[in-house]
Amino acid sequence: MLKLGVNIDHVATLREARYRGRGLGEPSPVEAARICVAAGAHGITAHLREDRRHIQDRDVWELREKVATRLNLEMADVPEIVAIALKLRPDVVCLVPERRLEVTTEGGLDVVGHEKSLTETRLKLNDAGIDVSLFIAPDENQIAAAARTGSQFVELHTGRFADEFAAARSRWGETPSSPDFDKVAPADLGGATASTELPRLISGARQAHALGLKVNAGHGLNRENLPALFRVPHLVELNIGHSIVSRAVTVGMEAAVKEMLLLMDNYNG
């Protein structure tokens, strides 16, 4: 069964837009997480950034205390946040790159260039009973390096896939059919490379699985592009945030989560 981890960062983004620095306010990301779990979500993801732009320290501690499901803490590989993770002891830590000016995480980790430090952090986290995932592009060298670090998971960055799908949809004026999406010639998409990224994800998932890594995926996923993504094998969990929170504005968080879970039932691995 394909699992759903709901990223509740953007609930905190809405709160911080009005109440930043005040230690209070609405909406509550913890209450949103509780609704997601009640609706069937298998896990909750929260990114504790160095600049604390959305999720705050109090949020992750309250999530750990009050939400009875798997907690996935996204974080940069920096001493301050690693120290918090070692005290908090989430079920999983997903190490991600982090740049101050980005709106959301824009790319995958350079595991090849930081293999030594990532391996050291992985050892510390594993010794504390925390599984480790690395957020990476579906690149052969990065996947091989991720396996060498000894991490339990990789999370394949699906942002480029999502952008290509959106370009195809814009070009065609409708949702591309999932069986044909990766066969479309780049020229038919106004220069987008829809014919390359989905095969890269498929190949990357196969490689990671063969190396003993569990495979998650996330970034830019929504109800429109998931059927195309379902051609990627060996997926364990999808981490989805923005599209669920956006949908919740009109139908409510419970309904948004249930809609996504119903769609994910179509995945056969």
Q: What positions carry a catalytic annotation?
A: 47, 74, 219
67: region left, alpha or beta (phi > 0 left; psi from -120 to 50 alpha)? beta
| DSSP per-residue string spanning 46-67 | EE--TT-SSS-HHHHHHHHHH-
| CA–CA distances in Å: residue 122 to residues 135, 136, 137 | 13, 15, 19
Please list, in sequence order, all residues whose beta carbon lies within 8 angstroms of the beta carbon of residue 244, skipping any fewer than 6 positions away: 6, 7, 36, 253, 256, 257, 260
Q: What is the dihedral of CA 178, 170, 6, 126, to 10 degrees?
A: 80
